[in-house]
Structure 1
Amino acid sequence: MEELAGTTVMIHPKLTQDPINMQGCVGTISNVLYEDCASYVNFGLGHFGVYNNDALLMLMPTEVALGKLPNDIDAMDLDPSEVLDIFRISILNESGIPEKQETALRLALASPVISAAIVFTVQDWVDFQIARLDQQQNPGRGR
């Protein structure tokens, strides 16, 4: 499974219970607790929080987002400007520069259509990765 440490995430803006009040703030995953479905998020300057993976929003990796884009264009009736925005957001996210990744995430979340196409929760990503691993395994035969 791909490592999520270093991934830029946003705390869901509508999170109802957040003991450190970081709803809508962007941080970086420092550690994932897969068994607990939670992650440590670093907000900088010594501010950390532990969040349920369903409360953490992230951009799909570019290869996934662009791989499903042809289907999304039809299924979601994306117009050309939205497709172009998805490419631009993906390029910003691929830069590896935290400030550009934050901008990319905020731009994606500003549009409900684009958000539906390329933003998901960390838990969605973990589940996607597990499903992908399960599909890659071939059943063995015992003799």
Structure 2
Amino acid sequence: MNNQNLNGTLVLVRPDLTVDPANGQGKVAIVTYDREQSKEIYVAFNNGKEGIYPPEFLLKLKDKKAILDDLMANGSAMPLDNFKDLYKISMLLDRGTSTAQWQALEIAGQNPAIWDKSIQPVKEAEKQVLDKAYTR
């Protein structure tokens, strides 16, 4: 079972959502409560509003090493704006502060061309969790 606790994690609400009752698409938020049993994650936005989302609606930054490795391997083949955004994200993650991480998530959310290189779902897909449970 996936017991990954996300409390305190900075997340990005999927910018491509078409239905979002909390009006948080494309915004950065902090996880305030993660309910594994009900598949709901509670988040707080910097404007004081809160929202409840299923895990598949929330994204987090990839590991800074993965971003930098991808940048070094594929940087010369990507458009300059994408390279600059990924470089900014890696530099912000290097700072190690929550403010820098927040800024990095905002940059990633504003450039759909780098989503696959910079952000990932907050939790593993349910199918992968089940596969792990049955392979013991």
TM-score by shorter chain over 0.5: yes
- Say whether residues 1:23 and 2:25 are aligned partners: yes
TM-score (norm 2): 0.68
RMSD, matched Cα: 3.6
- Say whether residues 1:102 and 2:89 are aligned partners: no
Unaligned runs of 5+ in 1: none
- Report the structure number with the largest CA radius of gyration: 1
1:17–1:80: structure 2 CA closer, same or farther, 3 Å change rule?
closer
1:72–1:42: structure 2 CA closer, same or farther, 3 Å change rule?
farther
Aligned length: 130
CA distance in 1 between counterparts of 2:41 and 2:86 reads 26
Q: How does 1:6-85 map to 2 (within 5 A)?
A: 6-44=8-46, 46-66=48-68, 69=70, 73=74, 77-78=77-78, 82=82, 85=85
CA distance in 2 between counterparts of 1:31 and 1:94 reads 27
TM-score (norm 1): 0.65
Question: Percent of pairs identical after alignment?
Answer: 27
Unaligned runs of 5+ in 2: none
Letter of the 2:36 counterpart: Y
Aligned-pair CA distance for 1:122 = 1.6
